[in-house]
Amino acid sequence: MTTSARGVDAPGRAQIDARTLRADRWWLPPAATTAGLLVFLVYGGVRAFQQQYFFADERYLTPFYSPCVSLGCASEPGAAHFGMFLPDHPLIPYAALSLPFLLLFRLTCYYYRKAYYRSFWLSPAACAVPEPHATYTGETRFPLILQNSHRYFFYLAAVIALINTYDAVLAFRHPADGFVVGVGNLVLLVNVVLLWAYTVSCHSCRHVMGGRLTHFSKHPVRYRIWTWVSGLNTRHMFFAWITLGTLILTDLYVMLVARGTIVDLRIIG
Amino acid sequence: MSYTGRFRVWRGDTDGGALQDFEVEVNEGEVVLDVLHRLQATQTPDLAVRWNCKAGKCGSCSAEIDGRPRLLCMTRMSVFGTDDVVTVTPMRTFPVIRDLVTDVSYNYAKAREVPSFTPPADLAPGEYRMQQIDVERSQEFRKCIECFLCQDTCHVVRDHEENKEAFAGPRFLMRVAELEMHPLDVADRVPAAQEEHGLGRCNITKCCTEVCPEGIKITDNALIPMKERVADRKYDPLVWLGRTISRRR
C-alpha cells in the first residue's frame, strides 16, 4: 500500500479528495492545549532550577520545592522539613525527590495522554482528522507501554500530596508570631485541596478504590468510595488544568513575597 | 420557515465518485435525513442511503456530515445556517458500497470474535440472580445501538487500514468490558482484551465518546477500566503477588 493510499484513502473506501471535510475550527483545542502545556513546562522548568525565592515569611514553602531535601535548602532555615541530603548542584532541583514523580504522574495520566497525543503527536489532532503518521501501534510497545505504570505514580503522588498538605498546615505557624493566617495560607490551602481533587479523581484511583471489583454488593464501603471517586473522575480534565494554574499561581505568590515584590497580607495574627 | 438549502452529497461506488451539489427545500423542524429523502423524491431517485427508524435507535443512518461522524436522523437542520453548504459523505473508515451506504461487515466479524455471555456452569437459565448495583455498569454499555460511529471515528482503524485485523475497535472492546464487569459472567476476558482484541492500540483520545449518539462514556467507563484490569494482570507485580498469595491460602 503506498503512502498516498493510507487511511481514508485506502482502497475500497469512498474516494474523496479532501483528507478531512471538517470546516469548524478543529485545530483550536490542540493548539490551545499545546500552548497551555508549554507555558507550564517552561515556567516549571525555570522555577525548579532557579533555586531562589522558594520560601517566604519563614513559613510559605512553594510546592515546586517541596520537600526541600537539598543541602542548598540551608539558605532558607525552616524550609527543610524532612532533612537535607541531596547535593547542592545547579542541575539537581531542591525537590528532586518529588518533581520527577509528579511529572511522570501527569505524563502517564489518562487525561494528559489524550491531551498530548492530540496536541503534540497529532494522533489524531481532532476526531475524523487524519493523523500524519504512516504506522501506528498505540501503547503496545516501548516506550508507550510504560503508560501502564500510571498507578505507581498515583501512589507516589498521593504521598507527595500528603507532604504538600503538611506544608500548608505548617504554614499557619510563624516562628515568632505563632498562629497566623495570611493570604498566602489561603493560596496554599486552595492549591492543596485542588491537588487532592486532581490526585483522587485519577482513573487509577477509581480502579483501585473499587473499579476492579465485579460484585459491588459484597463490598458496600468500596462501592461508596468508588461512586464518590467516579463523581470526581468526571471532572478529571478540569482538575488537571486548574491545578496547573494553581501551582503556577501559588509558586508565583511565594516567589513575589520572598523577593519582597509584594507583602503578604495578614488576616489573623 | 422554509428555505432552499445547499447540499454537497458524495455519490459513487467502489470504482469512484464525487461530491455533487444540490439545492433542496428545507423546512422547519427537519433533520438531514428528511432533506436527503426529499432529494431522493425530487431529484435523485437512485440515491442510496441506509435508514430505518428515524428516531436514533436503529443505528442505520450513520454517515459523515461536514466531516463529522453523525446519525443523519439525529442531526437537526437548525444547527446549520441557511447559507451553509452541508456536506454529506459515507463513513470513511469502511468500504463504500454505493453513495452513502458502506459495508460495515468488519464490525460483524469483530463481534463474532468476542465470546458470548458465559454464566456459571451450575446455573440454569431462570436461576440467574444479581443485584442492581452489580449489573448497572454493564447496563450503560447495553444502550449501544451499533451505529458504528465510534468505529468510524477511531483513528486506529480509520487512519490505519492494516490495524483492522488486530483491533476490535471501541464498540467491541466495550462489549468485552460489559461482559468482564457482568456479575454472572465467569469467562476470563482480560488477557484476550489485550492480546486478541488489541486494547493496547487504543490511545484513549476519546473520539469514540465524542461521537456516541447514546452518550455512552466509552473511554472513561469501558476502555480505561479495561486497561486498568490489563495492568492488574500484566504490568502490576504487586497485584500479581497478592493474587498468588491469596490463591495459596
**Cβ contacts (< 8 Å) between B181 and chain A: which residues?**
214
Q: Could you read off the pLDDT of A57-77 as tens digits, one per residue? A: 999 999 999 999 999 999 998
A140 to chain B: nearest residue by CA? B200
Question: How many Å apart are CA B24 and CA B61, to the nearest integer?
Answer: 19
Cα distances from A23 to residues A73, A105, A234, B210, in angstroms, run: 54, 36, 29, 17
pLDDT tens string A106-140: 999 999 999 999 999 999 999 999 999 999 999 99
pLDDT at res. B105 = 97
From the list A97, A209, A67, A228, the residue with the least C-alpha distance to A151 is A209
Residue B229 lies in a domain: yes
Per-residue pLDDT at B237: 80
Identify whether residues B130 and B225 lie together within a single domain: yes
A1 pLDDT exceeds 50?
no
> What single-letter DSSP state applies at residue A97?
T
Pairing of the two strands B16-27 and B2-13: antiparallel
Q: Does A231 touch chain B (CB under 8 A)?
A: no
Q: How many CA atoms lie within 13 A of A97 on its CB side?
A: 17
What is the pLDDT, as a whole number, of residue A2?
Answer: 43
Q: Are residues B114 and B55 in the same domain?
A: no
How far CA A12 is from CA of B89, B95, B108, B174, in Å, comes to 14, 5, 18, 27
In a domain, B141, yes or no: yes
pLDDT in tens, A218-235: 999 999 999 999 999 999
* Residue at B204 is within a domain: yes
Q: Tell me, yes or no, whether B57 lies in a domain.
A: yes
d(CA B59, CA B71) in angstroms, rounded, equals 7
Given this model, what pLDDT does residue A4 score? 53
Q: Which residue has the cell 466531516?
A: B67
Domain containing B70 equals 2-95
Cβ–Cβ < 8 Å for B119, B184: yes
Q: Which residue's entry shows cell 515546586?
A: A64
Residue B87: φ, ψ to 5°: -100, 125
Map residue A258 onto helix, strand or coil: helix
Nearest to B181 among A22, A135, A214 (CB): A214
pLDDT at A167 over 70: yes
Q: What is the pLDDT of residue B221?
A: 98
Give the CA angle between residues A195, A198, A204 to the nearest 5°: 130
Is the model's pLDDT at A173 over the cut of 60? yes
Shared-domain flag, residues B91 and B114: no
Cβ within 8 Å, pair A137-B201: yes
Preceding amide of A143 cis, omega within 30: yes
The last residue of one of the domains, among B60, B95, B130, is B95
Alpha-carbon gap, residue B230 to B189, rounded angstroms: 10
Mark whether B50 and B20 lie in a shared domain. yes
Q: CB of B83 within 8 A of CB of B60?
A: no
Chain length of chain A: 269
Residue range B128-142: average pLDDT?
A: 96
Report the mean per-residue pLDDT for chain A: 95
Q: Among B35, B67, B95, where does a domain finish?
A: B95
Distance of CA A192 to the CA centre of its chain: 12
Do B72 and B112 share a structural domain?
no
Asked if residue B199 has pLDDT above 60, the reply is: yes
Residue B59 counted as domain residue: yes
Taking the Cβ of residue A234 and every Cβ of chain B, the question of whether any pair is shorter than 8 Å is answered with yes
Q: Is A211 on the interface with B (CB under 8 A)?
A: yes
Identify whether residues B132 and B151 lie together within a single domain: yes
Q: Does B193 touch chain A (CB under 8 A)?
A: no
A26-to-A30, B75, B104, B155 alpha-carbon distances in Å? 8, 19, 27, 15
**What CATH number does residue B84 fall under?**
3.10.20.30
- Residue B219 resides in a domain: yes
Considering the domain architecture, whether residues B173 and B201 belong to the same structural domain is answered as: yes
Q: Considering the domain boundaries, does residue B100 fall inside one?
A: no
Distances (CA, A) of B238 to A220, B73, B232, B233: 24, 50, 8, 10
Cα separations in angstroms, A230 against A106, A235, B72, B202, B221: 19, 9, 33, 21, 9
Q: Are residues B74 and B48 in the same domain?
A: yes
Q: Which of B174, B166, B159 lies closest to B226, judged by CA?
A: B174
Residues of chain B contacting residue A223, judged by C-beta atoms under 8 Å apart: 133
Best A122, A131, A136, A234 residue to mutate vs chain B (most B CBs within 10 Å) = A136
CA distance A20 to chain B (A): 6
Contacts with B, A 82-121, CB within 8 Å = 110, 113-114, 117-118
Looking at residue B159, its pLDDT comes to 97
Q: Give me A125's grid cell.
A: 489532532
Q: Of B248, B235, B249, B153, which is closest to residue B202 (Cα–Cα)?
A: B153
Both B135 and B194 in one domain: the answer is yes
| Whether residues B168 and B238 fall in one domain | yes
DSSP notation for B71-134:
EGGG-BGGGS-TTPEEEEE--SSS-EEETTEE--HHHHHHHHTS------TT--TT-----HHH
| A27–B contact, CB cutoff 8 A | no
> What span, in angstroms and rounded, lies between the C-alpha atoms of B34 and B30?
6
CB B13 within 8 A of CB B98: yes
Q: Do B144 and B216 meet the contact criterion of CB atoms below 8 Å apart?
A: yes
| pLDDT number for residue B121 | 94
The interface residues of chain A toward chain B in range 123-182, judged by CB-CB distance below 8 A, are 123-124, 127-131, 133, 135-140, 144-145, 148-151
Subunit contact A16:B92, Cβ cutoff 8 A: yes
pLDDT in tens, B200-248: 999 999 999 999 999 999 999 999 999 999 999 988 888 778 878 876 5
For residue A139, give the C-alpha cell.
501503547
Residues B18 and B125 in one domain: no
Q: What's the total number of domains in chain B?
A: 2
Q: Are A26 and A129 in contact (CB under 8 A)?
A: yes
Any domain includes B39: yes
Cell of A250: 501559588
Write out the three cell numbers for A255. Answer: 516567589
Asked which of B65, B95, B125 is the last residue of a domain, the reply is B95
Q: For this complex, say whether ipTM is above 0.90.
A: yes
Given a cut of 60, whether residue A163 has pLDDT beyond it is yes
A102 contact partners, CB below 8 Å, separation of at least 6 = A157, A160
Alpha carbon A150 to its chain's center:
13
B233 contacts chain A (CB < 8 A): no
Is the same domain home to B28 and B82? yes
Is the model's pLDDT at B149 over the cut of 80? Answer: yes
Distance CA A68, CA A163 (A): 11
CATH of the domain at B178: 1.10.1060.10
Query: How many whole angstroms from its chain centre is CA A188?
Result: 16
The answer to whether the CB of A106 falls within 8 A of the CB of A92 is: no
The pLDDT of residue A3: 46
